[in-house]
A and B are shown apart, each in its own frame.
Chain A
């Protein structure tokens, strides 16, 4: 009897608070209540010289995952509950100055088994001396590509990011490989896969999520053209720990740019570039004599495409990436995805995404070997907006990596309250 009780308690230890949180969210997400909260969190002076808006998102996420976990999920369990509170502050001072900050309370920048933590993920001041010029300084999302504008949980049709933003390569930013075998081992390629995935957090992707690195940006629109250029303290592949100015200075800056063209309202195409060192200072002792971390860069050429018409939205991005790897030479990787969203009814939408990442080869003794496991992944999601302020999503992802016969499955559910 006692044993049964213990099982019961263990079984319901997690679901009960989760259920309570979901019910609470649904109750507080009544449209009229949220609208009042939203209005109460808005401050402006009568002459409208100053507007301040506090807003936020409450996300209740659950992941049912295969082990080892895919991409940027750091959990040893098959179920991960990942609640997140995001607070935004938007302030407009006159027409020329805009200030933004984003703070999150969650279990880590990427879903993990860690306990609660609070972070200031983004903050910047933007000065717009003319309609065609904005200058921005702070810690903010990259100008590369087109995913950033829909990366928050309310806008993103999916729960996770596209593959190029989260699939880990076999490169570390904290140490240089001694030879090609190290890279193949870190990438768990074929016979080099030892089944030990505890090194996961040492590895880096092509671009780490929205890449909220610190720096300065200049952007603007001229007619149907958009432009943006930024100097950041960390490369696109750099981990969140590197983004803060207190962690990484500007000794080895990264330069990113994007040029966009909107032939009409339906289409938006863009070309991006990025160049910057991806190794952190910790890696310096492992470098060949006479070299420093500034000698090893990540180069990215990217193309993005967006289309919208009536109830259909399409996006695609292509990334051609080259890492300069100590003792190895160039390691190339190509990654892309196509994403489609369709509103089935006013409140129900469906989304489908095809992602692929293809690795180039590196010299391993006398032959050339692929330095990573090619991967493809298909993501399918359904979302429902209950009200203007409450949204639910469910996602299923199926991925296949290299020659591994095992397929990776991920089911995610997410409930978002916007206020």
Chain B
């Protein structure tokens, strides 16, 4: 390799490193905490006309929220994950019971229990009924092609309830059980930051994002 070529390669490397460093500095971050509702317990009850008496008394999935940035984002086909997301049925509960996905994402519903499940939704956003299927059967995959909250149930186990939150923005995150979140790699501009907590409990705040800033936004309880 000639000396000229080496110098040229070095310059390109230095330029690339410089750009990467600049990009890191320009990253917009929003972080904060969503005040979550108190953890609820599985209100397990015996079945009225059953000979079995297995009552689940364990706590349900701990509460969580989904924080997302709403704006004029048009998700590209490449933004949609190629492999389907999963909502399993495990210990007579949905796992997870709250799943945020980008519009166009496919979700599968594997049955991990030794009993039948029948996942369905009558939500306007997506109506489907997977029928009854066993542990070793592959469940049908459902593509969520419209934005909105989709409440899912099991026809056999009335107390199973879950939500798939279908979003038009690629900038979202499910909080941890303490309500903490951190959204990274956000674009600069004016947006609305929303926290979906449950049903009609959607908290929101307008935000102005500037290159390189880290914004702290908390969502207290209503």
Residues of A within 8 A of B (CB): 31-32, 35, 42, 44, 46, 48, 51, 53, 90, 92, 95, 98, 100, 126, 128, 131, 134, 141, 148-149, 219-221, 226-228, 260, 264-266, 308-313, 343, 345-347, 385-388
Confirm or deny: B191 has a beta carbon within 8 angstroms of a beta carbon on chain A.
no
A210 CB to nearest chain B CB (Å): 9
Report chain A residues within 8 Å CB of B83. Answer: none
Residues of B within 8 A of A (CB): 41-46, 48-55, 57, 59, 115-116, 120-122, 127-129, 131-134, 151, 153, 199-200
Contact A92:B46 (CB < 8 A) given known A346-B122, A346-B128: yes
- In the bound complex, CA of A177 to CA of B173 (Å): 77
- In the bound complex, CA of A167 to CA of B156 (Å): 30
B49 and A308 contact, CB distance less than 8 A: no
B125 CB to nearest chain A CB (Å): 12
A343 and B129 contact, CB distance less than 8 A: yes
- In the bound complex, CA of A386 to CA of B57 (Å): 31
Contact of A311 among B44, B48, B129 (CB under 8 A): B129
A152 CB to nearest chain B CB (Å): 9
B15 CB to nearest chain A CB (Å): 56
A92 and B131 contact, CB distance less than 8 A: no
Choose among B50, B132, B153 the residue with the greatest number of A CB atoms under 10 Å from its CB.
B132
- In the bound complex, CA of A353 to CA of B54 (Å): 32
Report chain A residues within 8 Å CB of B127. Answer: 345-347
A90 and B48 contact, CB distance less than 8 A: yes
Report chain A residues within 8 Å CB of B46. Answer: 90, 92, 98, 100, 126, 128
Contact A310:B44 (CB < 8 A) given known A219-B51, A346-B120, A388-B122: no
Report chain B residues within 8 Å CB of A265. Answer: 115-116, 132, 134
A403 CB to nearest chain B CB (Å): 39
Report chain B residues within 8 Å CB of A309. Answer: 131-132
Report chain A residues within 8 Å CB of B132. Answer: 265, 308-311, 313
**Lowest 6 CB-CB distances: which A-B pairs, in order?**
A310-B131, A128-B53, A98-B46, A346-B129, A219-B51, A48-B41
Report chain B residues within 8 Å CB of A46. Answer: 41
Report chain B residues within 8 Å CB of A92. Answer: 43-46, 55
| Interface of chain A, main secondary structure | strand
- In the bound complex, CA of A33 to CA of B199 (Å): 11
- In the bound complex, CA of A90 to CA of B43 (Å): 11
Closest to B115 in A: A265
Choose among B48, B120, B127 the residue with the greatest number of A CB atoms under 10 Å from its CB.
B48
- In the bound complex, CA of A311 to CA of B133 (Å): 9
Closest to B48 in A: A100
Report chain A residues within 8 Å CB of B43. Answer: 42, 44, 48, 51, 53, 92
Contact A131:B121 (CB < 8 A) given known A42-B43, A51-B44, A310-B133: no
- In the bound complex, CA of A260 to CA of B52 (Å): 12
Contact A311:B57 (CB < 8 A) given known A53-B43, A90-B45: no
B65 CB to nearest chain A CB (Å): 18
A44 and B41 contact, CB distance less than 8 A: yes
A149 and B50 contact, CB distance less than 8 A: yes
Report chain A residues within 8 Å CB of B51. Answer: 134, 219-221, 226-228, 260
Contact of B57 among A90, A95, A310, A387 (CB under 8 A): A95
Choose among A220, A310, A312, A347 the residue with the greatest number of B CB atoms under 10 Å from its CB.
A310
B134 CB to nearest chain A CB (Å): 5
14 further A-B contacts with Cβ under 8 Å, apart from A220-B53, A310-B132, are A31-B122, A35-B199, A48-B59, A98-B45, A98-B46, A128-B46, A134-B51, A149-B50, A220-B52, A266-B134, A308-B132, A311-B129, A312-B131, A343-B129
- In the bound complex, CA of A346 to CA of B132 (Å): 12
Report chain B residues within 8 Å CB of A308. Answer: 116, 132
- In the bound complex, CA of A158 to CA of B59 (Å): 37
B42 CB to nearest chain A CB (Å): 8
- In the bound complex, CA of A148 to CA of B48 (Å): 10
A393 CB to nearest chain B CB (Å): 16
Closest to B117 in A: A265
- In the bound complex, CA of A92 to CA of B121 (Å): 28
A149 and B49 contact, CB distance less than 8 A: yes
Contact of A126 among B53, B120, B128 (CB under 8 A): B53
A323 CB to nearest chain B CB (Å): 27
Report chain B residues within 8 Å CB of A44. Answer: 41, 43
Report chain A residues within 8 Å CB of B199. Answer: 32, 35
